[in-house]
A and B are shown apart, each in its own frame.
Chain A
Amino acid sequence: MIVKGKKPWQKYMIQVQALTKNYGQFTAANDIYFEVNPGEIFGLLGPNGAGKSTTINCISGLLNPSLGEIYINQSSVLSEAIKAKASLGLVPQDLALYEDLSGQENLNFWGQAYGLAGDQLKARIEAVLEQVGLTSRAKDLVSTYSGGMKRRLNFACAILHEPKALLLDEPTVGVDPQSREHLLTAVETLKEQGTAVLYTTHYMEEAERLCDRIAIIDHGKIIAIGTVDELRNKMGEKDLISLQGDFSDVESSVLAEYEVIEWQNHTVRFMAENAAGQLSGLLAKFPPRSIKQTSVQQANLESLFIKLTGRELRD
């Protein structure tokens, strides 16, 4: 429950309370609560269209929530927007750069947008260029950069003013491995420096590597939240078994003693303990030649997501 006008707990750098965003009848974000501490990376994990970007856009002040309250460094994004935004850095999902200016000119512009000037701005530009590995290309036009370099510059623009809270909206989409590694390392460095990071992704491995805590979001709603270990534990000792084939003539009762997540004509998913050990017995319950493909996944975020939603993260 939100108490209007009451300041959030001081220890949180980002606090989201009952965030709801409606577009007519469609609810893009539904009663979302979470908070991010200084020096913590909090992941929002979910498939495309789950509500991650809507949440980020509300936090960064680009969208007004239909309901709820958001605080950045104890300032309300709604009622103290300028103060809140001064503590915030945003790395948008799409590039936000002037392609016909150089990397340095872009940094100069965004630095001034955050109120930096003079020697301080110059020093910060040099520092972030170094941090993202673009010092040698600083004076080149952005239009001559590779996709990965643009992504790195996009990131650099958001950290120029050393924000206390950083929002990263799928920063590694379409990025080459070298640039990806640069970005992930830079995020880890920021965490060590005490920055609160909100990181949205649909890459499970990134979330597992970076995030201290993760919220799994689907259809605008948080369906699970906790540390990576806590979330794994929700799966227990069970493995996820996925079968592809033709199951239109198969009775679902063949899996009566298992936890069935999904049963469709061509896909069956269910949970089983020690799946590898009893796989041959399991498959024998199905008619011959009905199964074309079998996969077994040990408990991880991906399998948890499938268990919770019946869908894959990349759906």
Chain B
Amino acid sequence: MSATPMPFTVAAIRLKKIFREKWSLISWLAIPIIIMFLMSLIAGTGGGKLTGRLLVTDHDQTGVSNFIIGGFSQGPMAEIFTVKQVKEAEGQELMDAGEASAWIVLEKGFGDAVLNNQPTTIKLMKNPAQSILPQMVETSMKLLVDAASYVQVLFAKELAVLKPMLETKKFNDAELVILTLGIKKQIESLEETVFPPQLKLIEQQVEEAEDEAANITFGLLMFPGAVFMSLIFSANSLAVNIWDDASNGVIPRLASTPSALGSYFNGQILAAVAAFVLVVLVLGLFGAFYFGLPLSKLPVMMLWLVFSGLVIYLLFCLITLLMPTLKSANIVVNATTFPLLMLGGSLFPMETMPTWLATIGQFLPNGFMLKGLKDWLIRSEPMMESLLMPLIFGLVMLIVLWVVNRLLIKQLIHKV
């Protein structure tokens, strides 16, 4: 009977040890779920909806500008946004502090320009640390601007009548009746064009998109980060296990056998992958049922999470193997773990972080991988657009770290 390849032997031993240390395994799975629930409770939204703050600086102060702003204070938008009227300086200050989702500035003369069919500008500033809410504001503004353009084209005559009334604030009953009839007639004449079946379809899509955004709960925003937290905990523990093996004399003794240390390291990687598959399977299924994630996305999500876990594991291995002692390896890996958790979107969703922190978080390996996943999984952005760059980044990291770690593991013999 031929011998089992050494990496599989090493992986089997490591997995046996993982399953014997039941509390370790339970903590990898339970802690992230507990933290996710606690954070949801602290945020006061439980399964509640996503909310944001919209700043408005209205230099125009006309009926038209009021109409634009009013759009965010009515209906479903009012459930999502709290509109705050601000002066220019205050708006800038709040945006700099990352305390609002978006800021709309309407310049003086905006209403006149709309009524006179002249080009005009609406300034929109978005919070880069948030994705969903600023995107909603931008989309809504585009819809309003489009609507205003159509109104300018279709109701030019009626606007010409309305304009002096608005300026003088003197409304003639007869003129208003004529105006109303004119608008009604124009709408009736456009009915066949404006409401064909294909336009109805587009309308429905917009409604669906709004529903989806409205269904993004704090818990759902935290979920992918919580799985990353579990991966980080397990990667931390598995990486330090290599130093344990060195301290226990296993690695030096293994170096005296015909089995190469490279095989030992590959075995550790295999065991880590198996552990990540387990973690991701349990938490992924939990997420799918609890948050109603689409089942069609589960396989890719799980593959992505295992891949991300592996990148994080190899990163921890690098830190561990660079350390001169087991104690220092433990200290430094733990010291690295918590910033990664906090900034990388595992303890707090990046959407809730101040801009500068979220920016740092997105440049951390776990933050980068997590953002790609959330863009695709939660925000339904195209897979290639969301995951391609993180995939390339992850693959490069994987190869470089694998090569470097295989070299570094040989140095462990001389450190113990």
Contacts and interface: CB of A to CB of B under 8 A. Distances in A.
A binds B: yes
Interface of A: 60-63, 82-83, 85-86, 88, 90, 92, 94-101, 105, 109-110, 112-120, 157
Given A98-B13, A101-B17, A105-B16, A115 B252 contact: no
- Looking at B21, B252, B253, which has the most chain A CB atoms within 10 Å of its CB? B253
Contacts of A62: 252, 255-256, 413
B189 interface: no
Contacts of A115: 3, 258-259
Contacts of A117: 1-4
A305 B116 CA distance: 111
B248 interface: yes
B248 A99 contact: yes
18 contacts: A60-B255, A61-B255, A62-B252, A62-B256, A90-B253, A96-B253, A98-B248, A98-B250, A99-B248, A100-B20, A101-B17, A112-B3, A112-B6, A113-B254, A114-B257, A114-B259, A116-B3, A118-B1
Nearest to A99: B248
A96 B258 contact: no
B249 interface: yes
A217 B350 CA distance: 64
B217 interface: no
B389 to A, nearest CB: 41
B13 A86 contact: no
A110 B249 CA distance: 13
A192 to B, nearest CB: 24
B13 A109 contact: yes
Contacts of A60: 255-256
B23 to A, nearest CB: 13
B149 interface: no
A79 to B, nearest CB: 15
Given A97-B248, A113-B259, 15 more contacts: A61-B255, A62-B255, A63-B414, A82-B258, A85-B258, A95-B248, A95-B249, A96-B252, A98-B13, A101-B17, A105-B16, A113-B254, A117-B2, A119-B1, A120-B1
Contacts, number: 75
B9 interface: yes
Contacts of B4: 112, 117
- Looking at A85, A109, A117, which has the most chain B CB atoms within 10 Å of its CB? A109
A112 B11 CA distance: 13
Contact of A113 (B248, B249, B257): B257
Contacts of A112: 3-4, 6, 9
Nearest to A85: B258
A119 B1 CA distance: 8
Contacts of A118: 1
A271 B250 CA distance: 47
For the complex of A and B, 5 pairs with smallest distance between CB atoms? A118-B1, A96-B249, A96-B253, A117-B3, A60-B256
B250 A96 contact: yes
Nearest to B254: A113
B354 to A, nearest CB: 44
Nearest to B414: A63
A98 B14 CA distance: 10
Contacts of A157: 253
Contacts of B16: 101, 105
B249 A61 contact: no
A118 B2 CA distance: 8
Contacts of B414: 63
Nearest to B410: A62
B412 to A, nearest CB: 11
B252 A92 contact: yes
Contacts of A92: 249, 252-253
B157 to A, nearest CB: 87
A100 B256 CA distance: 22
Nearest to B260: A82
A165 to B, nearest CB: 11
Contacts of A113: 6, 9, 254, 257-259
- Looking at B3, B253, B256, which has the most chain A CB atoms within 10 Å of its CB? B256
B7 to A, nearest CB: 11
A116 B21 CA distance: 28
- Looking at A86, A88, A110, A113, which has the most chain B CB atoms within 10 Å of its CB? A113
A183 B20 CA distance: 31
Contacts of A119: 1
Nearest to B247: A94
A82 B6 CA distance: 14
Nearest to A63: B414
A4 to B, nearest CB: 24
A88 to B, nearest CB: 7
Nearest to B10: A109
A61 B413 CA distance: 11
A97 B256 CA distance: 14
Nearest to B12: A109
A35 to B, nearest CB: 20
Interface string B251-274: 011111111100000000000000
Interface in B19-61: 20-21
A112 B248 CA distance: 19
A116 B260 CA distance: 15
A153 B2 CA distance: 25
Contacts of B250: 96-98
Given A112-B4, A113-B6, A116-B3, A101 B13 contact: yes
Nearest to A94: B249
Interface in B384-398: none
